[in-house]
Amino acid sequence: MGFPTVRLRRLRTTRAWREMLRETVIDPADFIYPLFVVHGHGVREPIEAMPGVYHLSTDTLLEEVGKATEAGIKAVLLFGVAAHKDPEAHEAWDDEGIVQTAIRALKAQFPDLVVMTDVCLCGYTDHGHCGLVVDGKIDNDSTLEVLADVALSHARAGADVVAPSDMMDGRVRAIRKALDSEGFSETVIMAYSAKYASAFYGPFREAAHSAPQFGDRRTYQMDPASRRQAIREVTLDIEEGADVVMVKPALAYLDVIREVRDRFEVPLAAYNVSGEYAMVKAAAATGWVDERAVVGEILTGIKRAGADLIITYHAVDAAEWLRRGDL
Ligand code: PBG
């Protein structure tokens, strides 16, 4: 048997066949739309390295989310840009902080929207690290209490999902315990479990004003060359109570996404990060790639690798293209 009896091209001859036999289908319900919220009113400030992404105040945030929900987006992930930074990241757990205010505004206008929040300190500390600094080092255990306070303040404001991205050991357990003891047993934890120390976060740090002021994040984020460590991180996060786990970034880590998918039953998110977005936008702006086609291919590839959910700045564009049948 084999060729010429068997011809694989037979089932590729028409668009109908290709669509009928497509093994991976992306849908707007797969996407989580990240947004950057700032203080003020009427703000819609472009972020230079992320064309199409803006700093939004709560009023313009509502407009943007209105557009997103119309396109079929079900979930957003909020990042706050603090007005005030200090060594202990006070605004991060302030009930009147920017994220807490934005959550209340969103839940009032879009009760069915899944509101997720990034739980981390780097956007709120003057040193720009994701944890508290003690004797020049990022101190794991004292950071846990602060992270739990941040998660609690988000839950109190109405967040459906808290997403710790700090990479401290034990944060999922600390957050779960704090949430449960205050009556938030239904608040979901989506853990940035396998988060690598990546240069692909460059544009995000400009957007969130969160670049570390000394050193780097390699003592807490993972070494990019390691795969087994990712499995240990995911295993621990699930044991500590993570409802959803994440691999981040996505594109240089598709093997990690596949391995986590094959080994665990929990829902898996992948973060198509700022640098991945910026590269597509830059190449599309010069006409070197067809933006719509490469975005479709990238998002399909992340899902084919095994992600159930994709956090992506392309979310609204991709959802609109899908609705029009252009992807
Ligand atoms: C905060 C955080 C970062 C990202 C998400 N949460 C930056 C970092 O760890 O330096 C990156 C997201 C992106 O690049 O799109 N810790």
Q: Is residue 248 annotated as a catalytic residue, yes or no?
A: yes
Domains of the chain: 24-324 (3.20.20.70)
- For ligand 1, atom 14, the nearest C-alpha belongs to 201
Pocket around ligand 1 at a 6 A CB cut-off: 118, 120, 122, 130, 165, 201, 204-205, 217, 273-274
Write down the pLDDT at residue 30. Answer: 98
- For ligand 1, atom 2, the nearest C-alpha belongs to 165
Could you tell me the distance, in angstroms and rounded to a whole number, from the CA of residue 185 to the centre of ligand 1?
26
Which ligand 1 atom is the nearest neighbour of the CA of 272? 15
Give buried/exposed letters for 134-144 (b at 16+ CB in 10 A, else e): eeeebebeebb
Catalytic residue among 74, 248, 281, 303: 248
β-partners of residue 125 are: 86
The full 3-state SS of the chain, as one line of letters, equals: CCCCCCCHHHHHCCHHHHHHCCCCCCCHHHEEEEEEECCCCCCEEECCCCCCCEEECHHHHHHHHHHHHHCCCCEEEEEECCCCCECCCHHHHCCCCHHHHHHHHHHHHCCCCEEEEEECCCCCECCCCCCEEECCEEEHHHHHHHHHHHHHHHHHHCCCEEEECCCCCCHHHHHHHHHHHCCCCCCEEEEEEEEECCHHHHHHHHHHCCCCCCCCCCCCCECCCCCHHHHHHHHHHHHHCCCEEEEECCHHHHHHHHHHHHHCCCCEEEEECHHHHHHHHHHHHCCCCCHHHHHHHHHHHHHHHCCCEEEECCHHHHHHHHHCCCC
Q: Is residue 195 annotated as a catalytic residue, yes or no?
A: yes
pLDDT, tens only, 109-154: 999 999 999 999 999 999 999 999 999 999 999 999 999 999 999 9
Could you tell me the distance, in angstroms and rounded to a whole number, from the CA of residue 209 to the centre of ligand 1?
11
Write down the pLDDT at residue 172. Answer: 98
Per-residue pLDDT of the chain (327 residues; tens, 9 = 90+): 899 999 999 999 999 999 999 999 999 999 999 999 999 999 999 999 999 999 999 999 999 999 999 999 999 999 999 999 999 999 999 999 999 999 999 999 999 999 999 999 999 999 999 999 999 999 999 999 999 999 999 999 999 999 999 999 999 999 999 999 999 999 999 999 999 999 999 999 988 899 999 999 999 999 999 999 999 999 999 999 999 999 999 999 999 999 999 999 999 999 999 999 999 999 999 999 999 999 999 999 999 999 999 999 999 999 999 999 888
Write down the pLDDT at residue 326. Answer: 87
